[in-house]
């Protein structure tokens, strides 16, 4: 900004990915909003979070959108979503997303899906756990500051969803 101080982006990399931290002087902070200063941001595409020269994510890894091609996943997923299935980004799972991972919770194996609304990841995102054995989906959907659990997860699963969501969408560096 002319006649003002600076807006800086400090880039750094850690095991969680490539991040930018926003820093600004008092005049610029007032112009862009003080809540912007100190924010850590990262791109949702895992290939964009790699260091230059690092290998890209494997082409064989599947994302959440490809999970919808499996009727065994699709039916319990939409059942768990309920009325939220009207949200396009949730119904299609086609927003920015890392590859589906396998996790163990309470002795059971789940596929972990993470996805966000295109161009609005910070305000609209989700994590979900899918058990192929039990044909069940549990998840946490975060929309515009409001969190909703889907699939009626038991307390142990709900607590794990909170940890997984914080790890995926609220990393502190």
pTM of the model: 0.68
Lowest mean pLDDT among 31-45, 64-78, 110-124, 153-167: 31-45
Cβ burial 86-113 (10 Å sphere, 16+ → b, else e): eeebbeebbbbbbbbeeeebeeeebbbb
CATH 3.30.300.30 is held by the domain 64-169: no
Give CA–CA dist 164/100, Å, rounded.
Answer: 13
pLDDT in tens, 65-97: 999 999 999 999 999 999 999 999 999 999 999
Which ranges in the chain are annotated with CATH 3.40.1420.10?
64-169
């Amino acid at each position: 900004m002319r006649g003002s101080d600076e807006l800086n982006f400090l880039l750094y990399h850690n095991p969680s990915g490539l991040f930018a931290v926003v820093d600004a002087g008092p005049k610029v902070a007032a112009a862009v909003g003080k809540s912007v200063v100190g924010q850590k941001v990262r791109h949702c595409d895992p290939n964009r979070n790699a260091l230059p020269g690092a290998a890209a994510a494997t082409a064989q890894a599947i994302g959440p959108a490809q999970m919808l091609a499996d009727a065994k996943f699709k039916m319990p997923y939409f059942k768990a979503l309920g009325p939220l299935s009207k949200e396009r980004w949730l119904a299609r799972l086609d927003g920015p997303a890392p590859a589906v991972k396998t996790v163990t919770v309470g002795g059971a194996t789940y596929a972990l899906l993470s996805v966000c609304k295109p161009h609005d990841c910070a305000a609209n995102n989700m994590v979900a756990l899918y058990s192929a054995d039990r044909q069940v989906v549990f998840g946490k959907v975060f929309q515009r500051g409001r969190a909703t659990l889907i699939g009626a997860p038991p307390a142990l699963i709900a607590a794990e969803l909170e940890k997984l969501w914080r790890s995926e969408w609220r990393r502190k560096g």
